[in-house]
A and B are shown apart, each in its own frame.
Chain A
């Protein structure tokens, strides 16, 4: 009997180890994580607007029906990502996530001075190539450099729809938003950037 209790205690301890191991293991095997779900909307380094739920089943889990979403998965292998966006006069946000769906950066309309943003997402090495050329922010355009924790990740844009009449605002906002891979040294945006710095 005493032996059985000891075996049972051993089983409990082993159970604890299995528990910890399996919790850590879940993100590595999840077939339904956010990255995988977003892959269904199209290729990387492109903006995809997400249609609101029509059959009751939202296209993404945990989304707010009062918001409209656009997503852009990125792959920084061939160069940094440049997000060009127009900020509407309603609540707007862009959030950056890593491959595992962890939100590492967020910006909303209140933190943007102008109505246009240029947001570079780059790896640590790419940042070093960009930074020496980057002067201060231009008055009308918010230009930001964000260091990404990994090569893969995604951006999520959110715009509030306070009423049906705002759908047009959302459509215009997303039309004016682009999200693509850029070679920073060849990019006209950066040449203009260094010119505005020197002049």
Chain B
């Protein structure tokens, strides 16, 4: 009787630890090489020539087709620079400078990866289209309603996710990814 109890206990622990650990690692992208820059996070492992089993499992589950890290790196965030969740009802100011890439794109989706309906130009900015000052610095306003200057729309979204994709970037090859500085995200106010 005692042994039966112990066996059941051991099996429950094994299943919870084993399968729970797998679910946790794949859902929260653990066990893979990542780079963190302020609120931004990039999973580098999926773009390496020989990804580890965690990265392979993440790829298989999402069906994503990432480019090699030597070609493109995708940084994502669900929070502002203070770590507060990005909300569609708030106004944010993104401030950044030069990024070591041939070009980049900045895209707004909701936290499920859905693009907002409407003019595509209002939820995707590129380094080519962004207006900068004489010091090569730029500011982008993320807000639910249109604003003058560089503007990205978060209209109609409860929670916002940002993706910053760098293309044709030497950062991975020359090993300087760790020190990369990406745009800060400051909350101005919420309606």
Contact = CB atoms under 8 A, between A and B. Distances in A.
B66 A11 contact: no
Contacts of B2: 3
Contact of A91 (B103, B113, B163): B103
B138 interface: no
B71 interface: yes
B6 A7 contact: yes
A18 B19 contact: yes
A15 B17 contact: yes
A140 B13 CA distance: 64
Contacts of A37: 63
Contact of B56 (A8, A52, A100, A103): A100
A61 B6 contact: no
A34 B46 CA distance: 13
A38 to B, nearest CB: 8
A17 B53 CA distance: 14
Interface stretch (A62-70, A129-137, A177-185, A190-198): A62-70
Interface string A53-81: 10111101110111100000000000000
Nearest to B167: A91
Nearest to B112: A57
B71 A14 contact: no
Contacts of B116: 56
A58 B6 contact: no
**Which of B56, B70, B117, B168 has the largest count of A CB atoms less than 10 A from its CB?**
B56
A19 B125 CA distance: 41
A56 B18 contact: no
**Which of A26, A55, A91 has the largest count of B CB atoms less than 10 A from its CB?**
A26
Interface string B128-140: 1100000000000
Contacts, number: 175
Interface string B119-132: 01101101011000
Given A100-B56, A156-B65, A106 B17 contact: no
Interface residues of B, number: 59
17 contacts: A11-B11, A11-B13, A17-B14, A18-B22, A23-B25, A23-B54, A26-B22, A26-B60, A30-B60, A33-B60, A34-B59, A57-B114, A62-B65, A65-B115, A103-B65, A108-B71, A110-B102
A22 to B, nearest CB: 4
Interface stretch (A41-49, A117-125, A159-167, A168-176): A159-167
Given A56-B116, A66-B105, A95 B68 contact: yes
Contacts of A103: 47, 65-68
Interface residues of A, number: 57
B151 to A, nearest CB: 16
Nearest to A66: B105
A132 to B, nearest CB: 28
Nearest to A103: B68
Interface string A1-40: 0011001101110111111111110110010111011000
A114 interface: no
B61 A32 contact: yes
B74 to A, nearest CB: 7
A110 B103 CA distance: 13
Nearest to A158: B67
A30 B61 contact: yes
Contact of A160 (B53, B103, B113): B103
